[in-house]
Structure 1
Amino acid sequence: MSSTTTSTEHEKGLARLAQRTAGWTEKWFPDAYVFALAGVVIVAAAAMLNGASPVTVAQTFGDGFWDLAPFTLQMAMVVLTGYVVATSPPVARIIERIALYPTTPRGSVAFVALLSCVVSMVNWGLSLVFSGLLARAIARRSDLRADYRALGAAAYLGLGAVWALGLSSSAAQLQATPESLPPELLEITGVLDFGATILTWQSLLMAAVLIALSVAVAWASAPQGEAIRTAEDMDVDLSDRVEPLPPRARPGEWLEYSRILPVLVGLLTLGWVVNQFVTLPFLSVISSLNGYLMVFLILGLVLHGTPRGFLNAVTKAVPTTAGVLVQFPLYAAMAAILTQATGRGGVTVSEHLADLFTRIGDGGAFAVVIAIYTALLGLLVPSGGGKWLVEAPYVMQSATDVGMNLGWTVQIYNAAEALPNLVNPFFMLPLLAVLGLRARDLVGFTFLQFLFHLPVVLLLLWALGMTFEFEPPVMP
């Protein structure tokens, strides 16, 4: 038997194993919201075992439940604005044009992987929808027979590789926005703008390496020849017909169908952006989560052209935000119990965890320990970055104790947070709706990516972490 044949059979075996694992999790794992509920119960039990009274735990739970309501809305808007921009007519036309660039089946898969990762550095919600529509556009080409499963998996790589290292990283955005930081976390970390997190040369280098790795694995693992399964083979309907707007029914609706108001509001927003860059430091401007979301929201309005077209897109986008809206208050409650429910000796569970990570992560192993812990927790609680609200107080305290740079600690979390997405299909759901596929169709390919990403991420986090010096927190 030739080495080529052996290698091919090995790859198929890995894909089969991943698909069986995905099938098992789809059958036996409950919804991610159930995991969040279970997390609250576990954290409450841990606080009581630590000596906190049931009354204290219950009071802390209720008091902290809405502590992060503004941040919850902000993260929901990341998803909504990404969807609205990706489905606008100008972006849809761009997708159709760039879908003509690839010339080979493998090249088309690598192309989708590259764009998925690059776009996710701007907005992970946009990446999911944009890449899914690109995969469909390539699959519609009659002159190119590409594997639709591999195209779909490539479209997911932005969320499974580098999204948390980009501008829509919820952890980096939270740390750069003092009004969104819980008081107990602000006392530990101060404010960390993007210059301390996602825009360090170490973070940008890591993102570049992971993008290159993702594209290479996507290219190498794409099926060829008779192994290719097209969208037609999988009975997927690729007719992306955009429903036209209904005609105006009354004179009062004319502004809903007019481009006047979107253009004027767009010009007003542009003036605000220009003034921000003229009057404020560059890093402060691009680190502003509220400004970032406002620009994306108005961009979606302008790209859709009319208020009616924009509102129709928003209506379709709202269901994709459900997970964020109902899970994040539970993360806030967990964080409050961990950091505020004092037990024996006036010590909280968060303080015990900080001491544990300080002891086992001392001597240069801190980055690897925190990364493995974050990745394992992410397998059970997919959060889109929301777990940072729970982990940050004790992780950042232990980082301070061992002298690890706080900005890089955020990036340790960010890089590790993306890894579980390659295995857990929770965040595939919006993409699967676009593709018309099931999670098990993609996980065989994404699991293969996980096998390559895990050791590379751990190595980079450890090696690049050694290039930092500890800097004291900067208070607002």
Structure 2
Amino acid sequence: MSNAYVRAPAPEESKQPAGLARLAYRFTELSEKWFPDAFVFVALALIVVVLANLATGANPMDIAHSFGTGFWTLIPFTMQMALVAITGYVVATSGPCTKLIARLASVPQSSRGAVAWVAAITMASSYLNWALSLVLGGLLVRAIARRTDIKVDYRAAGAAAYLGLGATWALGLSSSAAMLQANPASLPKAISDISGVIPLSQTIFLWQSIVMLLIIAAVAVTVAYYSAPEGNQIKTAEDMGCDVSETDTSAQKPARPGEWLEFNFILPALVVLLAAGYVYVELSTKGVMGTISNLNNYNFIFLMVGLLLHGNIRSFLTSVSKAVPTTAGVIIQFPFYASIAALLTQVPGSDGVTISHHISHLFVSIANIEIFPVVIGVYSAILGFLVPSGGGKWIIEAPYVLQTAKDLNAHMGWAIEVYNAAEALPNLINPFWMLPLLGVLGLRARDLVGFCFTQLIFAFPLVMFLLWVLAPSVTP
């Protein structure tokens, strides 16, 4: 019998991507070839902003000074974001959470179903807290990647885990703009004089906002499903060279008497008991949302919960040491973004006006009551690419956006939701917010951006349409 017979490829192996999968595949090919490392991206953005400042007639020494002084202004936030990744990783790698994530990871029964499931879980969790969606999404992807019964594209699943930040977070309970406007103690006087306090019932809890959220999420899950590769186009975590193994410290035992306290539950329990007292005071005075909307409190609670769930100091520290490398991109790149924000908002040109003022006046000056939502939406999306900070950017935009809404007799709460919906869009292709997730996954921005750009193609026109079509139903 001849050995010349060669088995024909199975249907799944020979299947070529079609439809959205083909589009995402092409974008991914291009991004893998042409998309630079995230640090190159931020360096180029810095140069572009510097050149823009020079074009406005700004003093070169003022530009250099602003670059240096602005560099360190996000250090507290940088530490907060690093701790988002660390504390989330610590909690999720504890025994109880590992079992929960494993159960969630066992739900999908197909490759595309797994990607859609990650998208749904991530966006649902982002409604509660954007930081939770990053960590939970990343660790859910890792758990799914460990399954041997289905083969899932690690890049597509990773991009799905990012949809909480790129689609829905700003329409949820951790919306920086909505929370700022609802909190009179935090509201700057320059904004308060224009709008006063705007309660959450007039922003994220508007029925129009909830409808918009549900439609955006449904479309994002659909796009995630149909753009996920199948068959021989799939690249698994192993194909990408990523280690997705679990952290297991349960078998460790003290090797000498001095290590006894490291493996004992007593010290963690006492520390957590003290922390519980602080959390009780915060909840009593600020309520649940007021407590967890503070990123310091969020990280504090997660850190203490992680310590409690690990049950001993050795297991806790082992998990922390494995989490720290995931923060490298955050630590080195966030200061550069701080400088970019400073160059946009603090360096006046020859006319005494900053770049952010030029941009805002350009868009706001052409707005009327009919096209106001779309104009402000486009403006917010563009500025969001340069200043990737929901709360900080709202401080820049609010005086112009709210004053224009007031002059046009538009609903100020809806103006905030216009900002929120549009503000999330640039996150889809901006590596800034990807960094904690990339650290957890062990991927690069170029691995995800092709799938994210496919999402952006659908999300941008959809969001602009919803902002326009829902606006007439929101009356002041």
Tell me if TM exceeds 0.5. Answer: yes
Alignment partner of 1:447 is 2:453: yes
Q: Give distance in 1, aligned partners of 2:76 and 2:447.
A: 36
Separation in structure 1 between the aligned mates of residue 385 and residue 356 of structure 2, nearest angstrom:
21
Contact 2:111 2:152 in 1 (8 A): yes
2:141 match: 135
1:420 aligns with 2:429: no
Whichever residue aligns with residue 342 of structure 2, its letter is A
Work out whether residues 81 and 436 of structure 2, in 8 Å CA contact, stay in contact via their aligned partners in 1: no
Mark the runs of 5 or more structure 2 residues left unpaired by the alignment.
1-13
Deviation at 1:372, TM superposition (A): 1.7
Give the match for residue 214 of structure 1. 220
Deviations 1:240-288 (A, max 9, x none): 3446797657766655543334434444544555555555566655655
Alignment of 1:56-455 (within 5 A): 74=80, 77-175=83-181, 184-185=190-191, 187-188=193-194, 190-192=196-198, 194-232=200-238, 236-242=242-248, 254-270=260-276, 273=279, 284=290, 287-315=293-321, 316-317=323-324, 318-319=327-328, 321-322=330-331, 325-327=334-336, 329-330=338-339, 333-334=342-343, 337=346, 354-379=360-385, 382-383=388-389, 386-455=392-461
- Look up the equivalent residue of 2:133 and give its one-letter code: S
Is the 8 Å Cα contact of residues 20 and 226 (structure 2) preserved in structure 1? no
Task: Give the Cα–Cα distance (whole angstroms) in 1 for the partners of residues 87 and 366 of structure 2.
Answer: 41
C-alpha separation in 2, matches of 1:191 and 1:323: 37
Contact 2:50–2:63 (8 Å) recurs in 1: no
- Give CA deviations for 1:341-362 in whole Å, capped at 9, x if unaligned: 5975x87666665544332122
State which drifts further: 348-357 or 153-162: 348-357
Distance across 1 between alignment mates of 2:55 and 2:342: 14
1:369 maps to amino acid: V
> Aligned residue for 2:6?
none
Q: Distance between the aligned counterparts of 1:278 and 1:184, measured in 2?
A: 30
Q: Offset of 1:87 from its aligned partner?
A: 3.3
CA distance in 2, matches of 1:399, 1:47: 28
8 A Cα contact 2:344 2:355, kept in partner: no
Q: For residue 23 of structure 2, what is the aligned residue in structure 1?
A: 14
How many pairs are equivalent? 460
Q: Aligned equivalents of 1:179 and 1:71: distance in 2?
A: 20
Contact 1:75 1:170 (8 Å CA) reproduced: no
**Contact kept in structure 2, 1:33 and 1:323, CA below 8 Å:** no
The answer to whether the 8 Å contact 1:80/1:321 transfers is no
Query: What residue in structure 1 maps to residue 471 of structure 2?
Result: 465
Q: 1:169 to 1:342 in 2, by over 3 A?
A: same
Quote how far apart the aligned CAs of 1:161 are: 1.7
| Structure 1 position 37 matched with structure 2 position 43 | no
Q: Distance in 1 between matches of 2:17 and 2:65?
A: 58
Counterpart-to-counterpart distance in 2, 1:138 and 1:64: 41
Q: Which letter does structure 2 place at the counterpart of 1:452?
A: F
Shift of 1:442: 3.4
Residues in 1 aligned to 2:62 and 2:233: alpha-carbon distance in whole angstroms = 60
Q: Deviations over 1:15-67 (max 9, x none)?
A: 24412442455249863442563476357547656xxx788888888887777
Structure 1 residues 384-393 or 245-254, which shifts more? 245-254
What does residue 473 of structure 1 align with? none
Report the TM-score, using the length of structure 2 for normalisation.
Answer: 0.77
The unaligned stretches of length 5 or more in structure 1 are 471-476
Using the TM superposition, give the Cα deviation of residue 454 of structure 1 relative to its aligned residue in structure 2, in angstroms. Answer: 1.5
Residues 33-42 or 363-372, more deviating: 33-42
Aligned-partner SS, 1:466: helix
CA distance in 2, matches of 1:405, 1:72: 35
What is the rounded CA distance, in whole Å, between the counterparts of 2:337 and 2:123 in structure 1?
A: 25
State the distance in 1 between where 2:37 and 2:320 align: 33
Cα deviation digits, residues 116-139 of structure 1 (max 9, x gap): 212222333332332232223223
Note closer, same or farther for the CA distance 1:392–1:450 as it changes in structure 2 (3 Å cut).
same
Deviations 1:140-166 (CA, angstroms, capped at 9, x unpaired): 323223333332332222222212333
- Aligned-partner Cα distance in 1 for 2:329–2:196: 32
